[in-house]
């Protein structure tokens, strides 16, 4: 008989939500931190916009981003005339470490040690992809100096960052 088995009567089961909320907060904090790290790595700048861009996305590879940052600018006014800004570089950022333009030698040293420490592919070559992200208004001299510093670290190939092709077609722009 049911009355003999349940001496105390049926109770309403309650679900303990504490663990669920713990996990949810863990997820929130994780995504907040990852978002901050990714935005730190991409220094604020306007990368070159190309005519008939052949830029493609870099896959999931072991990559090191070198940012050549421009002087501080106001993004709203810069959008109208992106090339009419100061062309001197403010700093170079390798990953999360910053270097002034005067001290590219230490950037070379750190880059060389990072290339050495990176995992090697089948033929013993470092499988590190270096991504050069420079603002579109910088003078070529400035970026050339950074490229020489990268060459001095024994790196032969570099990926230049530019916008990917837009989905809508645009007329070819005259730049004068």
Partner 1 sequence: MPESNETQPAAPKPTDEAVDHTTARSRRDIGPTKIQLNFTSMIDVIFLLLIYFVITASFVQDEGVLTANLPKGTGQPTTKVPPKPKRPIKIVLASTGLHGARLSIDSIGGYATFTELSDQLIQMQYDPSRGLTGPYKPDHPVVIKPDGNVRWQHVVNAFNSAVRARYSTVAFAQAE
Q: Please report how the helices 140-152 and 104-117 are oriented relative to each other, as an axis angle in degrees rounded to 10.
A: 40
Output 17 or 96, the one with its CB closest to partner 1: 17
Q: Would you call 9 exposed, middle or buried from its count of C-beta atoms within 10 A (0-12, 13-18, 19+)?
A: exposed
Q: How far is the CB of 100 from partner 1 (least distance, A)?
A: 19
In the complex, minimum distance from the CB of residue 99 to partner 1, in angstroms, rounded to a whole number: 18
Report the nearest approach of partner 1 to the CB of residue 90 (Å).
Answer: 14
Q: Is 24 exposed, middle or buried (0-12, 13-18, 19+ CB in 10 A)?
A: exposed
What does DSSP assign to residue 135?
-
Nearer to partner 1, 103 or 139 (CB): 139
- Cβ closer to partner 1: 53 or 113? 53
CB atoms within 10 A of CB 90: 20
Minimum separation from the CB atom of position 83 to partner 1 (A): 4
Segment holding 22, helix H or strand E: helix 18-41
């Amino acid at each position: 008989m049911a009355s003999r088995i349940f001496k105390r009567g049926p109770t309403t089961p309650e679900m303990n939500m504490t663990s669920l909320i713990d996990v949810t907060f863990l997820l929130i904090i994780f995504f907040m931190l990852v978002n901050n790290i990714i935005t730190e790595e991409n220094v604020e700048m306007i990368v070159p916009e190309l005519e008939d861009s052949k830029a493609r996305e870099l896959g999931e590879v072991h990559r090191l981003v070198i940012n050549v940052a421009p002087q501080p600018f106001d993004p709203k006014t810069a959008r109208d005339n992106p090339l009419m800004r100061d062309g001197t570089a403010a700093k170079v950022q390798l990953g999360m470490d910053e270097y002034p333009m005067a001290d590219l030698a230490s950037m070379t040293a750190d880059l060389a040690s990072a290339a050495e420490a990176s995992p090697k592919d089948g033929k013993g070559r470092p499988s590190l992809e270096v991504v050069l992200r420079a603002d579109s208004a910088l003078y070529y001299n400035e970026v050339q100096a950074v490229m020489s510093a990268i060459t001095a670290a024994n790196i032969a190939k570099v990926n230049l960052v530019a916008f990917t092709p837009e989905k809508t077609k645009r007329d070819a722009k005259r730049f004068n």
